[in-house]
Structure 1
Amino acid sequence: MIARIWHGRTKAKDFEQYTELMKSIAIPDYERTKGFVNLTFLRRIDNGIAHFTLITYWENLDVIKNFAGDDFEVAKYYPEDKKFLLEFEEKVTHYEVFAG
């Protein structure tokens, strides 16, 4: 299994609204992808900035390529992200899950 990890930041005032956006758009998109296993969505506020970390779990790298494209390390964004995110991190990280 492979874990794909993304990080994003918004203003603290957008904390709840961005959370709801991710619940309604991003999570269903992941769940519709064949080979998707599960996800963990983390959030916190630190010094007026909301941090979001999304860890998705996939059967293998080929499945991730079906979701993200051949350049699977490039982060996937949604049009609605432009309203909230403070920057767009270019890459995500991947880890092989060996216990869990």
Structure 2
Amino acid sequence: MITRIWHGRTRTSDAEKYLDFLLTAGTREYLDTSGNLSVRVWKKLDPDCCHFWTVTEWTDVAAIKAFAGEDYERAKYYPEDDGVLLEFEEKVEHYESFRVSQPS
């Protein structure tokens, strides 16, 4: 399993509007892509900005490429990000990840 993590920042005044976007249209394409296992949105409000992370789990790199394209390490942005995000980070992070279960 591969975990993909994207990070973005907004002004605090845009935080709730952007969270609404991420929880609906901003993550729809992830959910609609075959091989996506989960989508989580993390939010951290600081005094001068608000941080957001989308943390997604995928079956494999091929599934991520179906979502993000051949250059799958490049961040993917949407028109709604313009004027809201404080910067456009070029890359996302990918990690091999493992589920841990309770012993039987």
TM-score category, normalised to shorter length = over 0.9
1:20-99 equivalences in 2 (<5 Å):
20-99=20-99
Equivalent residue number for residue 17 of structure 2: 17
In 2, the alpha carbon distance for the partners of 1:58 and 1:84 equals: 27
Separation in structure 2 between the aligned mates of residue 23 and residue 54 of structure 1, nearest angstrom: 10
Distance 1:48 1:76 in 2: 25
Deviation at 1:27, TM superposition (A): 1.6
How many pairs were matched up? 100
Separation in 1 of the partners of 2:43 and 2:19? 8
Separation in 1, partners of 2:53, 2:24: 16
Q: Is the 8 A contact 2:11 2:84 kept in 1?
A: yes
Which letter maps to 2:79?
A: P
User: Percent identity among equivalent residues?
Assistant: 46
Deviation string, structure 1 residues 14-44 (Cα, Å, up to 9, x no partner):
1100011112212211110000000121001
Distance in 2 between the 1:91 and 1:25 partners? Answer: 21
What 5-or-longer segments of structure 2 have no aligned partner?
Answer: none
Is contact 2:9–2:50 with CA below 8 Å preserved after alignment? Answer: yes
Counterpart residue identity of residue 56, structure 2: T
RMSD: 0.9
* TM-score normalised to structure 2 length: 0.92
TM-score (norm 1): 0.95
Structure 1 counterpart of 2:86, which letter? L
Question: More strand per residue: 1 or 2?
Answer: 1
